Structures are given as C-alpha cells and as structure tokens.
Chain A
C-alpha cells in the first residue's frame, strides 16, 4: 500500500536535491506545492510506493497536518495512509 509523506524544505533547491537523490528508478508520485500562503518553507507531498519509512534525509523534513492539508492524492486519505 502506498504511503503519504508531507514535507517542508528550506528552499526549492533543497527540495530538488532530495528529489534528485531518489534517482529515476521509482514509481513514487512527487508533488511540488511551493511556498504555501505566508510560509517560508517549500512544501512537497509524496505518495511513496513500496516503502514503509522515509528515505534517508526526508524524515527530518516531515510534517504532520490536520485532515489532508491543502493538497490530497485523489481517493487516498492522508490520515489513513501517512508514513
């Protein structure tokens, strides 16, 4: 079952570094949400496929939200499937 992670990075560049480190060989769905509202953090949501814990370096950027937050993966509840 896929797992959802929600992350806040210091910058787009920091997010890209982590995303690029995943390589091309994956079927994860990575969604860039950008700087939400007045936040100084760059938000990224990921629907992880085939893993049960955050990849190296992602856990410290993980955040929790109420409900689904400002973005959801169609038909997949964050609260029921969060990493």
Chain B
C-alpha cells in the first residue's frame, strides 16, 4: 500500500485547528469552528468544557478519542449540572431528547409520561430517552442522583431523534452551536485524476437529514461525497464538470456502528468499498482535471453550513493513487 497524502487520526488540536498526521508541514490540518462553548467527555471520563472554536476529542466510548461533530441544540433544563425537579415549557407534539448521568431517575408528568432510570454515576454512564410531548408543559420529577441533564431540542423547535453531549445551563435556556470542519487549498494533496478516499467513523443517529463528507472544488460542479441519505443509506456520489451524477449505495451498512469505507476513482472506474466488501464498481471516467479537487469538508462541499456531517470520526485518509480491489478491501476491513 502507498502512503496517504493526507492522514488524520484525531489527536492534536488547538483553537480553530485539528492537526493532521500527514502531510507533516501542516497543510492538511483541518480548520474548525463552533461559535459557542461545548462539553466533551475527556480522557479521565468526566465532562470538560471546551472553548469556542475548540475541536472536541471525545472519550465517552473509552479507548482512543474520536472527533465529535454535533448539530446545534438548545437545552431547556435549567441548572443542569445537578438536576432538581422542575416544569419545562415545551412545544406540544414534538420529540425531545432527555439524557443524564447518575443512579437516580427522572419521571415525566403533565405533557409527557414515563421514567428514565440512570445506570451509573460517571459521565460515560449516560442514559437517554426520546420524550414526545402532548401539551405545552412537562414536569420532570427528580429522584436520587441526576447530573448533567439535557432536555434538548433543535434550535428551530423541530423534533430530535437522539441526545447529544451535555449542555450546561444555569438560570436560562442555553444553546450549543454546531461543529464545523473544513479545509481548502489541498490541490497538492488530492490527485484529481485518480485517488482513494478512506473514512472511518459513524453517524450520531438515523435521521431524516442528509449528511456529507466531501472532496470538492468548493462548488457544486465537482465533488466526491460520502453521503448518509435521508433514509440512512450510506452512499458515494460524484459530480464532474457540473454534470454526470454517479452514485453507489451500500444499503446493508448500519451507519450507527463504526464503519470503514473507501472511494476509488480514476479515468476508468468509480468503486465503493465498505467494511472489507466491494459494494460496486462502475465503468466510468471519474477523473477530474488536474487541481480540480482542493477542498475537504464535513458537509456537502458547496453550501456553507449545508448538510453537515453529524457523527464521530476515527480516521480519514486521502491517497493519490487508485487502490486496487485487494488494497481497498484490506484498507476497509474492520
């Protein structure tokens, strides 16, 4: 196997930057933005506040850290570090995600019902539940130890399907902004005429939103995308010279589990590999003019803030050669 031109395993970071391992001159370091503070579970297994524009290397699953990319959310639960019984004004008929750490429980009444029971006292013992409201007020009755509580919803008050990291609140509702990561100027490290793009990660949730990771020319004319569709199908999509959309889908991949995938392209083919299996190869000219692809984004690659990837990233690599089938299978075998 050849050496990647870009390789990133989340490990080093500073404000606004996530360091790549290759190239060693820093040209492949990802720009990072989030306009609010946010929390992560650190290597000691406790919640830690991360400053504005600071990438979050998350240890909530133990082992090596992953880059956490989450959507914007607002937390309606006040004084959320140590939960106390309270009534929350909500929108009726909407799905909220409730989560906490601790051995206690939250019992819902009023506009919701049921009980969420805790399983442990550490930040990694977080439990969660989706609560559907039936009126405009929900009472959360706390019993026992309930800490780091979220009663969260999208910022436009639309339903959520999964809980996210703890959002600290005091006397007011608080919003955490979304995580954004991009890098332009990579034309010396992406071989537009042929290459291999490898990604290892997972989605936060099944969702009705499309989510992308893209190599592109920062427009909608030329791109190579890994996409999780609004029906949660893992896909590769390519677009060249403003036309000729090609797509390959892996319908059997559960993106809630960590998966490894690779896209291989050159002037004779487009191929897609997932978890050591060749999904499909199309006999098409998928080469791009030299220096066309110069941007890597955790979104659709052509709309600022468009269809952000929401998930956890363990690794990605870009190679300047089109891998053979056996190389791509080796690369993506879990």
Measuring CB to CB, which residues of chain A are less than 8 angstroms from any residue of chain B? Answer: 2, 24-27, 29-34, 45, 47, 49, 68-76
Task: Indicate whether A27 sits within 8 Å of B33 (C-beta atoms), given known contacts A68-B172, A69-B172, A71-B173.
Answer: yes
Task: Indicate whether A75 sits within 8 Å of B52 (C-beta atoms), given known contacts A26-B305, A29-B35.
Answer: yes
Other CB < 8 Å A-B pairs besides A33-B173, A74-B38, 13 of them?
A25-B305, A29-B35, A30-B155, A31-B155, A32-B156, A68-B172, A70-B173, A71-B172, A71-B173, A74-B37, A75-B49, A75-B51, A76-B37
- Do A76 and B173 have beta carbons less than 8 Å apart? no
How far apart sit A2 and B306, CA to CA, in the bound complex (Å)? Answer: 19
How far apart sit A34 and B306, CA to CA, in the bound complex (Å)? Answer: 25
Chain B residue, CB-CB nearest to A12: B157
A34 contact set on B, CB distance < 8 A: 91, 157
How far apart sit A45 and B72, CA to CA, in the bound complex (Å)? Answer: 13
Chain B residue, CB-CB nearest to A49: B35
How far apart sit A54 and B35, CA to CA, in the bound complex (Å)? Answer: 18
- Do B303 and A72 have beta carbons less than 8 Å apart? no
- Do A29 and B306 have beta carbons less than 8 Å apart? no
Count residues on chain B whose CB falls below 8 Å from chain A CBs: 28
CB distance from B110 to the nearest CB of A (A): 17
For the complex of A and B, list the 10 residue pairs with the smallest distance between their C-beta atoms, beginning with the closest.
A75-B37, A74-B36, A27-B305, A2-B35, A31-B155, A29-B177, A71-B173, A25-B304, A74-B37, A74-B174
- Do B36 and A75 have beta carbons less than 8 Å apart? yes
How far apart sit A76 and B35, CA to CA, in the bound complex (Å)? Answer: 8
B168 interfacial contact with A, CB 8 Å: yes
- Do A25 and B303 have beta carbons less than 8 Å apart? yes
Give a binary string over B135-150; 1 marks a CB under 8 Å from any A CB, 0 the rest. 0000000000000000
How far apart sit A49 and B174, CA to CA, in the bound complex (Å)? Answer: 18
Chain B residue, CB-CB nearest to A69: B172
Task: Indicate whether A74 sits within 8 Å of B176 (C-beta atoms), given known contacts A31-B155, A34-B91.
Answer: yes
Give a binary string over B172-188; 1 marks a CB under 8 Å from any A CB, 0 the rest. 11111110100000000
- Do A47 and B172 have beta carbons less than 8 Å apart? no
A2 contact set on B, CB distance < 8 A: 35
CB distance from B230 to the nearest CB of A (A): 15
B167 interfacial contact with A, CB 8 Å: yes
Chain A residue, CB-CB nearest to B304: A25
CB distance from A31 to the nearest CB of B (A): 4
Chain B residue, CB-CB nearest to A28: B305
B314 interfacial contact with A, CB 8 Å: no
B126 interfacial contact with A, CB 8 Å: no
